[in-house]
Amino acid sequence: MPTSRFPTRLPGQPAPAPSGGVKPEPHVAPTVPGASPATPNAGEAEILAHAQAGDHHAFAQLYFLHKRRIYSLCLRMVGNVAEAEDLTQEAFLQLHRKIATFRGDSAFSTWLHRLAINVVLMHLRKKGLPLVSLDEAMEPASEGGPGRSFGAPDLTLSGSIDRLALERAVADLPAGYRLTFVLHDIEGYEHNEIASMLECSIGNSKSQLHKARLKLRDALRAFPRQEARQ
């Protein structure tokens, strides 16, 4: 049975290594040699146990193991460096308060990842930002709304997307579209999980993701023209 060509991966898994057709930038090497924040190992289990027992040094080690993943997640979700720093701090403060309640029902990295997402969502709710963007008119887009694609296909993406252009386009998305896009396409959550987090329907999550991708397509197709004018 044919399946979708839209890739999937489990939440908490790191992004795959870049392959052909993209312009990757090297990832920052982890501070802990050989330790991936998303990969549980015996050493981390011991550190976790000590941190749960109140060992401050062990908690600091957990921070250094997971800080990149959590900060990157916050940065993608809010699109703002200062807010991402505050939210990373809040996520680790929450972790400190709740670490004793971790029972190992899921991987620690998955649990922490979800805790951080909840911190970001709580923050956005407090700011009064809608976690689900209002539907925008689906007419041909020129004023920022995702448009239908009935025009000439003369600006189809080439398959080679500039990383900075994509990052900028994602940061410029309305909050609701950005959240759904980040949680699904970057972090690997399924629509039913996203619907639960954002308190919306599964259909709404699918619709938000689709509109996010349409807006990104518009932004990326406009990018070469903007660059050429500069």
Partner 1 sequence: MKPDPNNMTCQQFQDQLPELIGSGEDAASHPHLQTCPLCRALLSDLEIIAAAARQLFPIVEPPDDLWEHIESALKEEDGSPEPLQEGSAEIQ
Sites for partner 1 among residues 21-50 (CB under 8 A): 22-28, 31-32, 35, 43, 47
Q: Establish if 18 lies at the interface with partner 1 (CB under 8 A).
A: yes
Rounded CA separation 164/25 (Å) = 10
Q: Which stretch binds partner 1 (CB under 8 A): 102-110, 113-121, 171-179, 215-223?
A: 215-223
Among residues 68, 113, 123, 178, the one that binds partner 1 under rule CB under 8 A: 68
The 10 Å Cβ neighbour count of residue 72 is 18
| Relative orientation angle of helices 108-126 and 191-198, to the nearest 10 degrees | 40
Which residue bears the tokens 């990842």? 113
Q: What character string, x for contact with partner 1 (CB under 8 A) and - otherwise, covers 115-154?
A: ---------------------------------xxxx-x-
* Helix, strand or coil, per DSSP, at residue 32: coil
Among residues 136, 166, 168, 172, the one that binds partner 1 under rule CB under 8 A: 166
Which residue bears the tokens 């998303």? 38
* DSSP per-residue string spanning 82-132: HHHHHHHHHHHHHHHHHGGG--SSS-HHHHHHHHHHHHHHHHHHHTT--SS
What's 39's DSSP letter? S
Among residues 45, 49, 53, 85, the one that binds partner 1 under rule CB under 8 A: 85
Which tokens hold the place of 34? Answer: 């050989």
Among residues 48, 61, 120, 198, the one that binds partner 1 under rule CB under 8 A: 61
Contacts of 218 (CB under 8 A, 6+ apart): 141, 146, 147
Among residues 11, 71, 120, 174, the one that binds partner 1 under rule CB under 8 A: 71
Q: Establish if 100 lies at the interface with partner 1 (CB under 8 A).
A: no
Q: Which stretch binds partner 1 (CB under 8 A): 80-88, 108-116, 127-135, 222-230?
A: 80-88
Please report how close the Cβ of residue 155 comes to partner 1 at its closest, in angstroms. Answer: 9
Please report how close the Cβ of residue 166 comes to partner 1 at its closest, in angstroms. Answer: 6
